[in-house]
Amino acid sequence: MGIPLDLLLEAVLFGILLGGFYAAVSMGLSVSFGLLDVPNVAHPAIMVLGSYCTFLLVRVGLDPIVAGILLMPAFFVLGMAVYRFYYEAFERRGTDAGVRGIAFFFGVALIIEVGLILAFGVDQRMVEAAYIGTSTRIGDVRIPLRMLVAFGVAVVMTVALTLYMSTTFIGRAIKAVAQDEPALRLMGADPVRVKQWAFGIATAVTALAGAMLIIVGPVEPGMDRVYIGRTFAVVVLAGLGSMTGTVAAGLILGISESVVMMHPDLGASWAPAVSFMLLLLMLGIRPQGLFGR
């Protein structure tokens, strides 16, 4: 049985907004994994940490978006510190850095999750704002404003990161370090410092993504496991390191999941499998991704 046309249009429209949100929460991973080749499987856990920090700031009267922006400098410093430890412990030694790095970042994710459980318990947390719980209509379709906000943030983050990477020296150095590290040294730039700066940017962006996460819905400490497959699927589907490709891949995943959820023979229980299916298809057909370097 197919989907009625009106439901299909509603699914596509909601999928576009959902895809913008997926792009927003995957942007930091696109930098850390896509450009730096750092196996940052702790990315969703850091995002959840950003959600809980946003929750604390909202309790003192700040808007969630403002809270996410204010958290970015602190998360930038956190990211630089995490990468420095990762470099000294794994990359500098060179042997099995990728495999051991995955274990390291799994450990980081576990520490964050346990720390959040100890601090906040296992209950879900949510925030309040004028655009949360309200909606607008486009024709006969009701659109949650919180999804429109997430989509708008994804667009702004994409434009900002794309301009930064293409118009500044450090941005071009971040791109270069992923392609030709010896050439970057000849230009007088330290690849380690460039990677450390880039990982700081990736973590700062993830803090803002955490604010988007708690705007879209309630969060709990183990929610990182829900998004680890989706974020990696978006980054691989986009092509490692492509900012605009991340938005396109997010839209593809969002629309695909939304259509699956609306399908009468499939439903919401099949939606989480969409990201892994797209990931496997892309790895088998076009490993470099849609916009891969």
pLDDT cut 70: percent of the chain above it:
89
Radius of gyration in angstroms for the set of CA atoms belonging to the chain, rounded to a whole number: 19
- For the segment 137-157, the average pLDDT, to the nearest whole number, is 81
Distance (Å, rounded) from C-alpha 53 to C-alpha 125?
11
Q: What is the per-residue pLDDT across 163-177, written as a single tens digit (0 to 9) for each?
A: 998 888 888 888 888
Concatenated DSSP letters of 34-93? IIT----TTHHHHHHHHHHHHHHHHHTT--HHHHHHHHHHHHHHHHHHHHHHHIIIIITT
Name residue 142's beta-bridge partners.
Answer: 137
Residue (of 71, 106, 83) closest to 214 by Cα position? 71
Average pLDDT over residues 263-280: 69
pLDDT at 47: 96
User: Which pLDDT score, from 0 to 100, does residue 264 have?
Assistant: 63
Q: Which two structure tokens, joined as six digits, stand for 9? A: 């249009």
Does residue 293 surpass a pLDDT of 70? no
Give 95-134 pLDDT, tens digit per residue: 566 677 888 999 999 999 999 999 999 889 999 888 888 8
pLDDT given for residue 48 in this prediction:
96
Which pTM was predicted?
Answer: 0.89
The residue assigned the tokens 């576990």 is 110
DSSP characters over 224-238: HHHHHHHHHHHHHHH
